[in-house]
Structure 1
Amino acid sequence: MADSLRDQLLKSGIVKQVREEKRPSAPNSGRTPAFKKGSKGTKARAASSDEVDLAKAYAIRARTEANERKQAEREAAEQARLKRERKQKIQQLLQGKALNKADAEHVRHFEYGGKIRRVHVDPAQLAALNAGELGIVQQAGRYVLVERAIAEQVRDIDAHLLALLVEPGAGGIGDDGVPDDLMW
């Protein structure tokens, strides 16, 4: 029973013997403290191994993040290109086909984008619009009155730009003279 706890742990193999690694603190002209020869290699290898693993992990993470950013940029550029192409197709489709009249005296209100909008029409256009023979397309901040076939083509290209297209027979003017599709 003369063995100390330290000796018992060493004999069981649970703990390895650790040598004193500190030297008396003597000035060594600003250099790091020197270690004994026997322990320098294992500690240096263990520290550098951890640093290498950590450095690899950071490099992999940085590479992954860079790839994700590049992929997001490519997707955004592709979406912008598709949007430009749709806008150009609609512009070509609507060119010369607008039925808006500068001297129209009636106003047709409709809901678009969560707000009440309006377009000026003459009495014949108002009747055709309410019957579903004409439609309204939003282009470059304006509301363009077009024939039903053109409005349906616009809906096929980009449904968000179709502001109003009444289904034939589905609605019309109510008894109070207000279109059924317009809620006040």
Structure 2
Amino acid sequence: MVDSLRDQLLKSGIVKQLKDEKRQQQPAPRPHAPSAKGKPPHHKPPHQPKPARKEGEIDLAKAYAIRAHTEAEERKRAEQEAAEQARLKRERKAKVQKLLEGQILNKADGDQVRHFEYGGKIRRVYVDANQLADLNAGKLGIVQNAGRYLVVTQTVAEQVREIDSHLVALLVDPAAVGVDEEGIPDDLMW
């Protein structure tokens, strides 16, 4: 009959021998003297040496410190870039504002509506008949500034485009678009 592995180990004495070795490694239990509060004293586990690190491995705490330092540098660099972009945007806005002073041709009594696409939406500006013809011919342009659409000359619109092209809402290129007999560009025929 075949003995189980356990029976074979017990017969050979290896199992008993292993149990004896484990008992020798464990410290003998000490009697606990109660402390002043009635709790047993705190025992430190036996000091075990740190496992030897392989070459090229770094300590976990050191790795976390390096990671935290790198993330802090990246945050600081991103903040500096954002601040620089904000400063440049303020400078462009101030230049455009200065350029537009005294150059705005909007009329309060404009009776014609000129529709145009800007920012993915259809916008409108009120102009008179002469301004409408000049807008359609490319002699005038429309610039967006501080939430308003301002009618300006072609040269002012081109100067604004050089500073910040996103602010030019409408500047018709007469060579690129055909104009009908009424002065309306072909792209506005609906």
Give the TM interval when normalised to the shorter protein.
0.7 to 0.9
C-alpha distance in 1, partners of 2:24/2:156? 90
- The one-character-per-residue Cα deviations of 1:74-107 (angstroms, maximum 9, x if unpaired) are 0000000000000000000001100000011000
% of aligned pairs identical?
Answer: 61
C-alpha distance in 2, partners of 1:149/1:117? 22
Tell me, yes or no, if structure 1 residue 89 matches structure 2 residue 100: no
List runs of 5+ in structure 1 lacking aligned partners. 5-16
Q: Is the 8 A contact 1:131 1:169 kept in 2?
A: no
Q: Is the 8 A contact 2:137 2:183 kept in 1?
A: no
Code of the residue aligned with 2:149 in structure 1: it is Y
The match for 2:66 is 60
Q: How many residues align?
A: 163
Code of the residue aligned with 2:154 in structure 1: it is R
Tell me, yes or no, if structure 1 residue 125 matches structure 2 residue 131: yes
Q: Map of 1:3-152 to 2, 5 A cutoff?
A: 20-26=24-30, 27=32, 29-35=40-46, 40=47, 43-46=48-51, 53-152=59-158
The 1:34–1:69 alpha-carbon spacing in structure 2 relative to 1, beyond 3 Å, is closer
SS at match of 1:127: helix
The match for 1:162 is 168
Normalised by the length of structure 2, the TM-score is 0.74
The 1:81–1:34 alpha-carbon spacing in structure 2 relative to 1, beyond 3 Å, is closer
SS at match of 2:26: coil
How far the C-alpha of 1:23 sits from its partner, in A, is 1.6
C-alpha distance in 2, partners of 1:130/1:146? 13
Code of the residue aligned with 1:22 in structure 2: it is Q
How far the C-alpha of 1:54 sits from its partner, in A, is 1.0
Q: Highest Rg: 1 or 2? A: 2
Normalised by the length of structure 1, the TM-score is 0.76
State the Cα RMSD in Å: 3.0
Tell me, yes or no, if structure 1 residue 182 matches structure 2 residue 188: yes
The 1:34–1:82 alpha-carbon spacing in structure 2 relative to 1, beyond 3 Å, is closer
- The one-character-per-residue Cα deviations of 1:31-52 (angstroms, maximum 9, x if unpaired) are 23453xxxx4xx33439xxxx8
How far the C-alpha of 1:170 sits from its partner, in A, is 2.4
